Amino acid sequence: MLEFKNVTKQFETVTAVKNVSFTVNDGEVLGIVGRNGSGKSTIFRMILDLIEPTEGEITFNHNEITTSVLDRFGYLPEEGSLLNQYTVLDICEYYASLKLMPKSEILKSLKEWLAIFHMEDLLTMKVKKLSKGNRQKIQFIISVLHNPDFIILDEPFSGLDPVSVEELEKAILTLKSQGKTIIFSSHIMNHVENLCDKILLINRGEALLQGDLQEVIRNYKINGEPVHSLNDIFIDKVGEAL
């Protein structure tokens, strides 16, 4: 369980996150929705202990997030960082070793994940030869290869074709069924509606709306009329489409 308690992050004269709180339990998926610059990346960076909150507290399973705790985290960044000169196997072995995964387990787990995405033939291919979509899937595999307890996925569907999107959605739901705690951001509301138990709508660092996703959609009214999608709610709260 991840708890984000009354967290504020101030950068000199800019308040990037303003007194935000949320909880994500084991086996739950939280979708964080907001425009670029709304504070999503700052939230992720604070959870990963890359920057410290100005105020508030962030804990995982009621413990401070230390280096040993971070070894049980998985992170898919919005911008990929794969090195072109290495093979898929090389790069996955490198990142998994940073998470203290035994080398004897890496190849087995990697082959299982490649099979899920029908990418078995890419094991020894160099990263520079991968398509954009396949690079994104390899980035995802790296983030989950070590079987983390908590996973952050920042725009995980970027660059994927419809078939790959369906495969990735199934993979995320499988991880959820295994009790993983998952947070992800997306600009595509359908992905949020398909996968998330909870929603956090953030704008200019402030939480405008949060809670159980289905309850939010069911109870939200615009001019007394029910809404039909999360996109309608976003436009009403922020004033424009995502």
Local confidence band at 173 (pLDDT 50, 70, 90 cut-offs): very high
* 120 closest CA partner among 107, 133, 102: 107
Answer whether 0.85 is exceeded by the pTM.
yes
Average pLDDT over residues 162-183: 95
* 87 closest CA partner among 134, 129, 133: 129
For the chain, what are the domain ranges?
Answer: 2-81+149-238
Average pLDDT over residues 211-229: 92
Q: How far is CA 188 from CA 58, 64, 134, in A?
A: 27, 32, 20
Q: Residue 103's pLDDT is what?
A: 86
The model's pLDDT over 81-137, given as tens digits with 9 standing for 90+, comes to 788 899 999 999 999 999 999 988 999 999 999 999 999 999 999 999 999 999 999
Q: How far is CA 72 from CA 53, 107, 144, in A?
A: 21, 19, 10
To the question of domain 2-81+149-238 being in CATH 3.40.50.300, the answer is yes
